[in-house]
Chains A and B, each alone.
Chain A
Amino acid sequence: MPQTEKLEESPTGRLSRDIQRKIGQQLRAMYTDVVNEGVPDRFADLLRRLDDKNK
């Protein structure tokens, strides 16, 4: 019954779910921002130097 469902959904429950969802989205967005910066030159250079040394 839809009415029982509504009763179970307390305003605080809904609020905390909304907040959890927002936090999850922000966390992923923040993370993706850095991922999208790609590989800074210093790391490509570093690995090239290490690679050359081993050859």
Chain B
Amino acid sequence: MPAQDDMREAMLAAVPNLRAFAVSLCGDMDRANDLVQETLLRAWAHQDSFEPGTNMSAWLFTILRNHFRTEYRKRRREVEDADGGYAERLTSPEAQTGHVEFGELREALLHLPPDQREALILVGASGFSYEEAARICECAVGTIKSRVNRARKKLAELLTIELEHEAEVEHELLIRRAV
């Protein structure tokens, strides 16, 4: 198969973005790596379903996203009880990923409904257009837009206190330096 080396190269090139997407979805680097591995295995086994000339990255994102959702539903059933949501069950994201810097943001992301989380990441971080994100999530463009908007609002609510505090500290420092 002459195209096979190209396939491997293209899949390899997509790995960094797939990992970033996966860890933004699940908040856990180990689990993110497993999601990426499963994605690559599935993609490799279903190479025939990739249409040459279309966006390979979008195709792989679709596979990862679908796998994550199946897993998420399974895990949710396993861990959810009457008064506990999913996010509360996770230990702190910085402990899991080693990325202390974005701890609050990661934590806040996990409090968004998965629909909104994936839409926001695809459009706001992965750099997909609303149209591409809609294709990956198998929904209408308008649905993606409203999910992104709701996600932004919710994140702002969750992070405002933190960011306001940050702004105050910056302000204080400026004043102190000026004195």
Contacts and interface: CB of A to CB of B under 8 A. Distances in A.
A36 B4 contact: no
Given A19-B156, A19-B159, A54-B4, A27 B15 contact: no
Nearest to A31: B125
A36 B12 CA distance: 14
Interface in A38-55: 38-40, 42-44, 46-48, 50-51, 54-55
A7 to B, nearest CB: 24
A1 interface: no
Contacts of B163: 19, 22-23
A54 B47 CA distance: 12
A26 B108 CA distance: 12
Main secondary structure of the interface of A (DSSP, over half): helix
B160 interface: yes
A16 interface: yes
A23 B152 contact: yes
A19 B120 CA distance: 15
Interface in B7-50: 8, 11-12, 15-17, 19-21, 23-24, 33, 36-37, 40-41, 44
B106 to A, nearest CB: 7
Nearest to A34: B20
Contacts of A44: 12
A23 B159 contact: yes
B16 A36 contact: yes
Nearest to B24: A31
B1 A19 contact: no
Contacts of A22: 163
Interface of A: 16, 18-20, 22-24, 26-40, 42-44, 46-48, 50-51, 54-55
Given A23-B105, A37-B16, 10 more contacts: A16-B156, A28-B125, A30-B102, A34-B16, A37-B19, A43-B12, A43-B15, A43-B40, A50-B8, A50-B40
